[in-house]
Structures are given as structure tokens and as C-alpha cells.
Amino acid sequence: MDIVKNYNTYLNWVDITEDFINASNELKLGELVHDDLFGLFDAMAAIELMDPKMDAGMVCNKSKKIFSFDEMIDMETIKIDSFTPAELIGIIDDTFSCMVTWFDGHSLAQTVFINLYLHNPNRITCKRLKSFAIVILKIVDMINDFVQQALVYEEEDFQPKTYNFNLASSVSFSKASTMIKVVEDDLTKLIAENTTEKNEWKALLVRYNFTKQLFILLNNYKKQISNNPTSVQTLKEFLLTINQCLSSCEELLKQWSDTIEFGIKPLVNDNVVVDHCKPDYPTILGFQPLINQRLLPPSFPRYTKIKSRSDTVNYLRMFLQRIRQLFRVTELVQFGDVIKFFNEFSKLTPSCVVSRSMLQLFYLPQTGLIFGETLFLKIVKESCKQFIKPPVLCNNINLDSGTKDIVDAFFNRCLVPFKNIIQTYGHNRARQREKIAVVLKDFVVIIEESITLDRYLSNKLNQNFIGFLQFWLLYYKLCFMSQYLLSGFELELYSLHEYSYMYMELEYIWDYTTLLLKRVAEMYLQSENSTNGTNCGKNNRKKHTKSKNRNQQLNFHEQEIMYYKGICLLAGAFHRIFLAFTIENKITQPEQNLNTERIRYNHRFLPLARFEGGLLSYDKYKERYDLFDKKSATKQLYIEAGQLLSQGRMQFECVKEPSLQDEIQTYVKVAKTNTIVINLLLSGHNTMAKPDLIFTDCTHFPIIKFAKS
């Protein structure tokens, strides 16, 4: 204390609170102040002391001691028997609220295990609550296991640490399900006897039915992805069982929602409720938000707000819809469509790591068999065959055993990057971006191998095999490169001044992809004709089937070519629009004393620049910019942009692929609306106004608007 007093005598403290607040009010939303001694990293790492949402020490209850569940039982301060239906309904509803909050990335200690009854269910005398507690623990254990097996979660997605709580692992599924079945029968008898509180007992039965059906659903899923062949059903039987459980759960949720007010609620005059944020934590019978406070680090990184009961029902409904949706992957035939499905599934909001993990394990469980039935190697080979039909996979060329081994070894090495991309699309959207850059490295390596193998086969068999395997892998490489750049728009990583060269690179990649697909279609037809020539003695039925398959595949190539040509034209239009905006100073440029445009350009594309032939250079961009800047030819840029938008719209209107229609309609709307904007600019309307970009319809291509002058 003496040291502190002596230190304070040399200081002249000044209260700057009011000055600080006045200065901060001048900042716009999203703006930050940067100083040499306090940058973004310091701001993100800082903890606001005395704020309960950031300083975990402030939540500690210093006014009274918190007792454990066992201590409270010994002291007879907690109820363990003779619960009313309203009490049981309240406990069940708030337990599910805690569980779905855990799904969102919060700690088990701050969510599920603030329910004291889950700490030691064996000490609960009431068989109704005891059976529910055990089943919930089993559900938590299964979900925790699913997420950890899939390995597609990040720290912000999921907290798998169980803090050594007992998750009822010693209780078998059959025993747990029997316990809850006994309770269901007991409640059914009570309702039939026309007892008092009949509606409350019915509402309670609905919750037990839901819990049992969810438990059965997750257990069936667990058995299906297991390595035990005796417990695995056929895919058809499994999907039938799952759909029955899902339908039952969805119907029960409707009844649950209608009776959501039946459970007990916290008392408004309860001191604990007032002191500890009533809306954030359940504080009804059996819940103690501070019971696990000592298990947490001094400054826990996230403040936990438990979902409300109505939000919980909505979340469970969304969760069931996700589970139903993930099983639609079984309807897809082509591997390329499967990758698109994984990508689209990860886009769903709000993000749900549990459903993403379940999709991963269902499609490619640890057995390495697709849906537990088909070798992944077979799927990859079939994907290559459907895309470009290389002669080495068409059974019309006799390969010796040594050459077959070389080809098989190549496709086995292809499994790693394809497995990695599937796992990458299981992560949240923010993490996917950095992981795509890693997967691209794997594809570059395997593409080099494919070039060598193509040459080897050509020399070995005296036929032209050049490009077949290479183009198949190159197509995926270009798709993932464009996905990497597009994710920057989705995550809002790009500044407005970067848009012109982002769209330039996308235009280049998609133009390259279009040319590649045209060549692939030619090679596919060439290989198909060669195969038909060697099999001319086969019967007409087989010829008819092969002809039908060929036409379907050629139609696929046509649809893909038109799709990529359309988005290429769209990217070209936006490149010219933002180039014109930059020349006309409609876009604010960053100060050059911090860095240069070349440095920013190279930094933005650094993860992709190492891949040869994938991108243009800054010099190409600068050359195009200087060409129009010197001539002040922004009118020419707007004219070209309008033409490209119209051409792109016409390309999209020719695409008939059903799976692309929603995306196509969005692009058509963007093209039409921005064509009108370009015509207004060409007519001299709002020439000095700043552009306002609307990404609500499409995350990659904005609708441009101008403020009224």
C-alpha cells in the first residue's frame, strides 16, 4: 500500500470519461481508431473490466455460498420427488434451452450442467425426472461424440470439454429407452383417469414423447455410422426409420409450441433472478447459473445467454429440418453434385455445427465407404468417367497388370484431396476460406502427377491420352479458386476499392473454366465415339442405353458451359463498372503512405498466386486501368458493362438445369436491375453520387443504387 501511495503522489489523474465518450460518438459504425501503441490486435484482446459480459469474475455471487447438488440434497434444500406437472414441464423446457445453447458453441458448464439434476440423476427419487435426466445425458454424449468424430468444428463453433461430468455412459440405450417408456405409460394412464391438471399432464407427455423420439433418431444414426456391420441397416431401411422419427418429432414440436406457457417460470421478485439477468439464465427449480463458476478460467472468452423457451422450440424445429435435409445427399448421383451439396449445406443460416458434423459422418463415415456401402475410390473413378470419360476407365483398352497398378495408385492418391474438400465444406464459412487454400495445394500436386501419367499412358499404348486426367482435376482446381475469391464477398472481407480487380480475376478464372469445359465436351465425345466403335457388336438395347447416357452427359457439359459463360460475363461487367467508378473517383481510395496498390493486390491474391496459370498479374490490371484512365473513357466502360450484362442475362435464360434455377434467377435479377442503372448513368443521371451496393439478393454480385442527388 505504501508503494501505491508513493506512486500516486507523482501522478496527476485526470477524468477523461466524458471526453472519450464525445470523441467516440464521432466514429461511424464499424470504424476503429488505430494508434502505434494500440492496434486491432490489442482491441480484440482487451477485456472490459467490471462488465459481467466480459469479466467472468463480476458474475461471482459473493453474498452467499453456492452448494453442490449432493450438498443441497443432504441439507434438504432442493426438491427430488413429488414434482407437479408444471415443475417438470419447466425443468424439461429449460434443459432443452440449455442444450441448444450448447449447440451454438457455448460451454457445457455454462449451459447444460447449470441444471443440478443432471449432476447425479441416481439421487433423484422421482422416476419421471430421473429417466429424463439420464436420456438427456445420453443425447449430450452422442452429439458430443458426433462433432468430435467429424472434426469440422472450431473453437467458436463448439465446446466439447465435458469437465469430467458423468454422461450416463454406463446406462445402455435399451435401459434408458425402457425407463422413459415406463414414464410414458404412466402418464398415459393418468390422462385416461381424468385426473386434475389433465392438460398439463398431456403437455408433459408430449415432451417425453419428443425426447424419446429424438433419442431413438440419434441412436439409429450412431449405429449406422459405426464400424459394427451387425448393427448397420441397409440404407433404405435406415432412411425409412429416420424419416418416421423426424415426422414424429416435428408433429410433437407443434404440440409443444402450443403448451409452452404451461411450465413454471422464475419469480420476478426473486433476488437471484434480479441479480443475475433473468432473461439470460433459467433460475427456476433445480437451476443454478453459478454452480460451475469455479470450473471456468478467470476470464472466460464468451458470455452465455441461454435461449428462451420459444426460441428453443424454433431452434429444435430448424435442427430437425437440417437433419432431414442432410439425408437428401443420398439422392445425388454425380460426385460434383455432392460437393455442391456440401457447399450449399454449409451456407445455411444460422450455422449448425451438429448437423454439419452429422452430414460428414453420414456421407463418409470412418469405414471409408460412402453411406457405409460403396468404396470412395469407386465414386471418384466414376466421377472422372462421367466428366471426361478417359479411355483408361472405359474397358476398351487392355492394360497390363503393371499399368493397372499405376492407374489405381494415382486414383488412390486422388482420394486425399477429395476427402479434404468434403471435410473443408463441413467447417463454418469463415474457416472454409483458409482451408480451401490448403486443399488447392493438394490439387496442384496431384495435377502434376496427372500430367506425368497422361504422358506415360500415351507413350505406353501409342495413343493420345494427353489431358484426360489433367483436365478433370483442373476443373476442380478452378472451381475452388473461384470459391476462395467469392467467399471474400460473402464474408465482407473486401474493401470497395478492391472490387474492380477482384471481378477481373473472377472473369479470367471463369473464362478459363468455360474454355476448359468446351475442350472436355469435345474429348468426351471423342472417347465415346471410340468406345462405340470397339463395341459395335453389342445388342441394340445396350447401344440405346449408352446413347441416352451420352446425350445426358453432353447436355451436362452444355449447361455447365452456359452457366460459367454467364457468370463470366457478369464478372466482366462488374469489373468495368467498378473500374469506371474508380476513374471517376466515386470510390474512396486508401492513403498511399501506408502501402501501395501493388502491395495490396499481391497481398490479396497471395494464397492463389503460387498456383501457375490461375490468375492474372497486377501489371495486367494496371495496364487496363491506365488505358481507360488516360482517355477518361468511362463512358466506353459503361457501354461495355451494359452489353455484358445483357449477354449474361441471355446466357442464364438458356440454362435449364433444375438444381441451378434459384441461383440463375438471382443472377438474372441482378443483371436486369444493373442494366437499368448503367443506362441511367449513360444518360447523365446522378453522375456525382456515390454508389450504394446492395448484396441482399446475391452475396457475390451487388445491385447498384445511387443516393438521390
Q: Check residue 270 and give its pLDDT.
A: 43
Q: Are 217 and 249 in contact (CB under 8 A)?
A: yes
pLDDT (average), residues 2-25: 73
Residue 166: band (very low, low, confident or very high) from pLDDT cuts 50, 70, 90 = very high
Please state the rounded mean pLDDT for residues 137-157: 93
Q: How many CB atoms lie within 10 A of CB 231?
A: 11
| Residue showing cell 403437455 | 203
Q: Grid coordinates in use for 255?
A: 404440440
Instruction: With both helix axes pointing from N to C terminus, report the angle between 618-631 and 634-653 in degrees, rounded to the nearest 10.
Output: 120
Q: Helix and strand tally (H, E) in the chain?
A: 24, 4
266 vs 179, residue with greater confidence: 179
Average pLDDT, the chain: 86
pLDDT in tens, 419-430: 999 999 999 999
**Range name among 270-274, 317-321, 673-677 with the lowest pLDDT average:** 270-274
pLDDT at 102 exceeding the cut of 50: yes
Banded pLDDT at 28 (limits 50, 70, 90): confident
Question: Which is higher by pLDDT, 530 or 588?
Answer: 588
Q: What is the pLDDT of residue 504?
A: 94
Which of the four pLDDT bands, split at 50, 70 and 90, describes residue 297? confident
Q: How far is residue 304's CA from residue 100's CA, in Å, rounded to a whole number?
A: 12
Residues contacting 604, CB < 8 A, separation 6+: 494, 498, 501, 502
* Dist CA 610 CA 438 (whole Å): 12
pLDDT tens digit sequence for 322-377: 999 999 999 998 899 999 999 999 999 888 999 999 999 999 887 778 888 889 99
Does the pLDDT of residue 278 top 50, yes or no?
no
Q: How confident is the model at residue 643, as a pLDDT?
A: 95
Burial 315-340 (b: 16+ CB within 10 A, else e): bbbbbbebbbebbebeeeeebbebbb
The reported pTM is: 0.87
Give the Å distances, CA to CA, from 530 to 457, 469, 536, 551: 17, 17, 10, 16
pLDDT above 60 for 451: yes
- Residue 368 pLDDT: 75
Question: What band does 92 get if pLDDT is binned at 50, 70 and 90?
Answer: very high
Displacement of CA 540 from its chain's centroid (Å): 47
First to last CA, the chain: 64
Q: What is the pLDDT of residue 478?
A: 94
Band the pLDDT of 274: cuts 50, 70, 90.
very low
